[in-house]
Structure 1
Amino acid sequence: MISMKISRRPLNALVVKRLLSGQTSPKRSETEALRAPTLKTTSLPSGLIVTSLDNRSPITRIGVIVRAGARYEPQDQLGLSHTLRSMAGFSTKDSTVFGITRNIEYVGGSLTALTTRDDVIYVLENDGNYTDRNLKYLSDTVLQPAFKHWQIKDNLYRQKADLSYYRDSPQLVLIEALHSAAFRGGLRNSIYSPDFMIGKHSTDQLADYVDRHFVSNRTAIVGVGIEHNQLLERVDKWFSTMSRGDRGNSGQSKFVGGEARVDTNSDTTYVAVAAEGVGSKNQKDVLSLSLLQTILGTGPRVEFSDGSHTKLGEAVAKTTSEPFAVSAFNINYTDTGLFGITVAASAQDIHKAVKAAVTQLRASAKSISEEELKNAKHSLKATTLLAAEDQNVLVEELATQSLNAGQVVSLTDYEKAVDSITVQDITGLANKIVKSKGAMACVGKLQNAPYLEDLL
């Protein structure tokens, strides 16, 4: 009888081993390909943090993250980070917009920028053979933007297009309104420029903002698809002139709670209800709330599913026969966060739907079974691993962890941390949340939308 064993090794590892089985001395390049990805972090004397993930990818991605997001904008210069983001790739003191665009695109590369309330992130992607050549343009964009007044004017259409997209996305309007109601201070600032500030940011204001915030101890640089020593050499070559010292706004914020209501003519009404969450530096609490979020439900995961199989979905489905959407969310900033639920339903059913979702949140805060926690852990780890397959998401996550914690948690350590969370960890934190003051935002036809006092 021939016995058979089921291998638990990855299929690609088995294939590679089979291809090499007839060779006594594999080539160096093939040996290199068999090595596991290497994750390393170095904190430089300047305060700059450098992290690399050498995964042998032919594409190299370099991300520069700076703690200069919307929360750090002066109150009389709201929208500065929006202007900064939309002008990435414009002329610098050493390079023209034509030179940056032509040289990066000529080799099939790309340069993108995004902002959050905490950070501004620039990402360069290209064939690894052209990384050193293109890093000049990434460095120029980050360290030496020119902000020429005619290019600021030329950029207005981009910002107006951003605002048009934002206004047409009720989910985005909802989240921005929720922050406006929930916080006092920097986190109240929107990542979109107010209408009245479009075209009002001057060359001097933008240059001063960069000078104050784009400093080494507010910055991290990450590379995916590059060896660590090579990345350190390139950082020394292209970013060694970065200023030191911290002269930026503190971005101090306080959760105060409250309501924001935005009337529109939409047939669907959107509501978000939240309490103060936790900051990203507290890994245990972040994971506890992430597991609670998973237990409650984050919407459908299968195409054409209505999402009614989740705890929140089951609760809301009993209140309406119309289409609806409901999900839990967990937003984490450096020092605080938001945890809550979003509900979208018809205008006539929105009050009942939100009430049912909030009731389910309170019930789950008191009682979570071991089986529910076990399933949530499997789901959360799978979601994280799948997200890490997207290299752009991976760069952003590595950059954020590097800047916030000075190091990056490996996936193995992450899984161990998830497994260490207990039911008591979750319910203890959840009960504090449901008993604390709340914040709420509503967007759509609001004649039947609840008020915060209706839900307490």
Structure 2
Amino acid sequence: MATCKYSLNALRRASSSAAVASTASQRTAPQTKAGQYGIPQRIKLPKESINVTKLQNGMVVASMENNSPIFRVAAVVDAGAKYEPYESRGVTTLLRVFSNMSTKYVSRHGITKNLERLGANFKCVQTREQMIYSIEGLRSELTHGAQFLVPIVCYPMFKPYEIHDEHERLEVDHKLYLQSPELQLNDLLHEAAFKGGLSRTLSVCPDMMKKLSHRQMYTFHSHYYTPERISLVGTGCNHQTLVQLADKFRFSPLDCVYTPGFGNLKLIDS
């Protein structure tokens, strides 16, 4: 019993002395500016202003450096549903649904595989005023990933057999539209509030699905996809890099021999 008593007293003295030593070390230990030991101080990055450049061909380039590890680049085309001819109403829906089809320089399989390899995402959004093609990915892959906007926006092929084989995508898109009361309500509100192009729906009716083809898509694209109707905007990227990318957006038949440069990226096209 005496041995146990003495051992307990020794244990208490050791624990109390360790606590005192720990408190003293905490008092003398250097602290960060945040006031908490071991927590790094938050770095305040300078706010960047929005840079805007208008090219000689009328194309507008706008960017904002937000120091994000993710880049987002979008080509905004003033070619929404309100510009559709009456006999081709719904053609912008086809352009959205088939936006990832084959181009003059990269096939649809190549676009998918290369963007997957880069860890980038492509998306096309349709509004009544604009068509928005956007790509986002890691900042280190900006020069490679964003360049796929050039063939997608400028050089789509509208191959008849591809559109015919993927026609089910239009039917699925229309079914999703019918299952979304919010989209239908929005279209009804525009139909009641506006006349003309702004009253157009953002879906294609089954009757027009049978009438629309690659011919209407090509005609609409060649008429409205021009440099003065396009704005290239981006975040998380250098402005000069975006200006160099915008210089590759060419639509003239004389520029069809121009091949967009993909740098040292070896394209996967099979």
Q: What interval of TM-score do these two structures reach, taking the shorter chain for normalisation?
A: 0.7 to 0.9
1:36 to 2:47 alignment? yes
Partner SS for 1:93? coil
Which of 92, 101, 104 aligns to 2:103? It is 92
Choose 1 or 2 for highest CA Rg: 2
Partner SS for 1:138? helix
Q: Give the whole-Å Cα distance in 2 for the aligned partners of 1:157 and 1:230.
A: 39
Number of residue pairs the alignment of both structures matches: 218
* Contact 1:54 1:226 (8 Å CA) reproduced: yes
Instruction: Give the 5 Å matches for 1:13-412.
Output: 19=40, 34-236=45-247, 238-239=248-249, 241-243=250-252
Q: Which has the higher contact order (CA 8 A, sep 6+)?
A: 2
One-letter identity of the residue aligned with 2:153 = V
Percent of aligned pairs with the same residue? 32
Deviation at 1:41, TM superposition (A): 1.0
Partner SS for 2:50? strand
Deviation at 1:176, TM superposition (A): 1.2
- Alignment deviations for residues 178-227 of structure 1 (CA, whole Å, 9 cap, x no partner): 22233221112111111111143222221111111111111100011001
Q: Give the whole-Å Cα distance in 1 for the aligned partners of 2:206 and 2:67.
A: 45
Superposed CA RMSD in Å reads: 2.3
Gaps of 5+ in 1: 1-12, 22-29, 245-456
Change (3 A) 1:36 1:189: same
Q: Give the whole-Å Cα distance in 1 for the aligned partners of 2:65 and 2:40.
A: 24
Q: Give the whole-Å Cα distance in 1 for the aligned partners of 2:108 and 2:224.
A: 23
Gaps of 5+ in 2: 1-32, 254-270
Q: Give the whole-Å Cα distance in 2 for the aligned partners of 1:94 and 1:34.
A: 40
* Contact 1:53 1:225 (8 Å CA) reproduced: yes
Deviation at 1:37, TM superposition (A): 3.1
Q: Give the whole-Å Cα distance in 2 for the aligned partners of 1:39 and 1:136.
A: 22
One-letter identity of the residue aligned with 1:160 = E
Partner SS for 2:129? coil
Change (3 A) 1:215 1:243: farther
Q: Give the whole-Å Cα distance in 1 for the aligned partners of 2:142 and 2:34.
A: 32
* Contact 1:153 1:199 (8 Å CA) reproduced: no
Flag as ranges the 4+ runs of structure 1 deviating above 3 A: 18-21
Q: Give the whole-Å Cα distance in 2 for the aligned partners of 1:193 and 1:243.
A: 30
Partner SS for 2:86? coil
* Contact 1:89 1:100 (8 Å CA) reproduced: yes
1:407 corresponds to = none
1:295 corresponds to = none
Structure number with the higher strand fraction is: 1
Q: Give the whole-Å Cα distance in 2 for the aligned partners of 1:55 and 1:174.
A: 36
Q: Give the whole-Å Cα distance in 1 for the aligned partners of 2:143 and 2:251.
A: 18
Deviation at 1:128, TM superposition (A): 1.7
2:11 corresponds to = none
Q: Give the whole-Å Cα distance in 2 for the aligned partners of 1:243 and 1:69.
A: 21
One-letter identity of the residue aligned with 1:218 = R
- Alignment deviations for residues 249-308 of structure 1 (CA, whole Å, 9 cap, x no partner): xxxxxxxxxxxxxxxxxxxxxxxxxxxxxxxxxxxxxxxxxxxxxxxxxxxxxxxxxxxx
